[in-house]
Amino acid sequence: LPAMNWLLLKNSLLVGGLTTLLAASFGFLAALWLAGLERRWRHRLLAVAVMALALPPFLVTNCWLHFLGYGGVWRGWLPLNIVSLGGTVWILSLLTWPITLLQVLSAWQRLEPSQLESDVAVSGWWLIRGLLWPLAQTALTQAAVLTFVLALNNFAVPAILQVKVFPAEVWVLFNTTFDTLGALRLSWPLVVAPLLLLLWFARRGLPWPRTEGPVSAKLFRQQLGPCWFWLCGGCTFLLCLLSVGLPVFQLMSEGPVSAKLLDRKSVV
């Protein structure tokens, strides 16, 4: 590969790695809160999380350009540059955090009441470190690999924000020359890197026999402690607001975004 391509590949790996770290952190905190909620509220928030996962990337990117772009309405009091590598990581994290949430929450369904009631003094951080984290490790690994692959191969968000990444060059090569084989040869790092990562981190989960019913939300909430529960709740509420509420509000308040997106890109 040419030298410039290696630089773009490095940018892509950086975007993918940072997005994975941030999205996994968001999803883990959200899972802690949802595990302590009653069934009806948990299902409602899971629906919001699925909406965040299903939102078109260009729509979310256009929303943040509206608020934090060069001419954004928030730039006067919040001088953050969304047109950057950090902005790309932020938007991709808002799009992919539900992957970790769904995986970890599913892993915690294997918890039994006796595992929490055996020592009621183990709560808060020690509960997370000693029980919840080990139980969710395999799910976290799978979610991290999937998030990394999606972030590594995403070119829509970086292209709109003018962040030079490797998938964008592959797309330009294919779109300008229609050289399918050339684009395939050029994109081998995007295929090999995720496969190697999957083989390296793939581990079989430890058998976790289950003889009782699932842990009730009240018991989980009690053992987690009010401090952790409400801290995770506040973070999750803010996350849902930023990843779903803000784009939907901007879409409903300003109407069709296709022409506005072109205007934003011309400003950028």
**Opening angle at CA 14, ends 95 and 33, nearest 5:** 40
Predicted local distance difference test score (pLDDT) of residue 266: 45
Residues of the chain with pLDDT under 70: 1-6, 168, 171-191, 193-194, 197-198, 200-213, 255-268
Q: Where are the alpha helices (H) located in the chain, listed in sequence order?
A: 3-35, 39-54, 57-68, 85-107, 113-117, 124-127, 133-153, 156-160, 166-177, 180-186, 188-201, 217-224, 226-240, 246-254, 258-267
Amino acid identity, position 66: H
CA 199 to chain centre: 22
Predicted local distance difference test score (pLDDT) of residue 1: 41
Predicted local distance difference test score (pLDDT) of residue 80: 87
> Is the sign of the CA dihedral 224, 228, 233, 236 positive or negative?
negative
Predicted local distance difference test score (pLDDT) of residue 54: 92
Predicted local distance difference test score (pLDDT) of residue 7: 73
Predicted local distance difference test score (pLDDT) of residue 220: 92
- Locate 220 and state its tokens: 């989980």
Q: How many C-beta neighbours within 10 Å does residue 138 have? A: 17
Collapsing DSSP to helix, strand or coil, 199 comes out as helix
pLDDT in tens, 65-78: 999 988 888 888 88
